Structure 1
Amino acid sequence: MSVYYSVVEVTPTSEEWIPSYIEQVTQIVAKHGGKYLARTGSHQQMEGDRESAALCVIIEWPSKEAAVGLMEDPAYAPHFKARSEGAVNHHIFVEGKDDFA
């Protein structure tokens, strides 16, 4: 079974949702087996011409089912809604494999 990664770029448009999101979602991610590898504003865009996000989050998941489990968890739904309404977000889901090896 492959590991999976969530790579999330977040640019808040309001900050009122952030403290509750961090406090609650950290626990929900852990419940689904996720491990934060990075949650930071310390990043540098190396390629491309789109505007760089304010924050970059990388989460390692033990399986695809674990990551999907977070997204489908009713406890996560209000936090997802708050982030969606209070930030510009890009979420990429990556399987930890090399298709070209």
Structure 2
Amino acid sequence: MAYLSVLAVTPTSEDWIPDYIGPANRLVAQYGGKYLARTSSHEQLEGPKDDAALRIVIEWPSKEAAVRFMNDPDYMPHLQARAEGSRSFHFLIEGKDDLA
């Protein structure tokens, strides 16, 4: 079953971004992930205002693939740099409909 990573990221510093993109792209692909969206072009339609600068959606082949990506030792320094240089929220969502 597919899983989706849905992220809201607002950089507080842009210093980490150039060193982040390449390794993140490589590791996402290594774990079978596919970027569906990485954009600042988004509009909030409902709820309390959330001013995230970027919305990112990654499709994973499984929960295990997403978790292995997040725990990959090669990703750790980049994750730490993103965490220190941004306000980030990351949700892992199972691709199913519990209300059907």
TM-score over 0.5 for the pair: yes
Deviation larger for 46-55 or 79-88 = 46-55
Question: What's the counterpart of residue 75 of structure 1?
Answer: 74
Q: Which residue number in structure 1 is paired with residue 4 of structure 2?
A: 5
Whole-angstrom CA distance in 2 between matches of 1:90 and 1:45: 16
Q: CA offset at residue 19 of structure 1? A: 1.1
Shift of 1:83: 0.2
Q: Which amino acid aligns with 1:82?
A: A
**Cα deviation 1:6-61 (Å, max 9, x = unaligned):** 00000000001001111111001100110000000000111111332000000000
Between the aligned partners of 2:67 and 2:22, the Cα distance in structure 1 is 20
**77-86 vs 49-58, which moves further:** 49-58
Corresponding residue pairs, total = 100
Match of 1:31 in 2: 30
TM-score, scaled to structure 2: 0.97
One-letter code of the match for 1:72? N
Listed as ranges, the gaps of 5+ residues in structure 1 are none
Distance 2:34 2:5 in 1: 10
1:1-101 alignment runs, 5 A limit: 2-101=1-100
* Structure 1 residue ranges (4+ consecutive) displaced by more than 3 angstroms after TM superposition: none
Counterpart Cα distance in 2 of 1:51 and 1:62 = 29
Which residues of structure 2 form unaligned runs of 5+? none
Identity of aligned residues (%): 59
- Look up the equivalent residue of 1:31 and give its one-letter code: Q
TM superposition score normalised by structure 1 = 0.96
Rounded Cα–Cα distance in structure 2 between residues aligned with 1:62 and 1:51? 29
Give the letter for the 1:65 counterpart: E
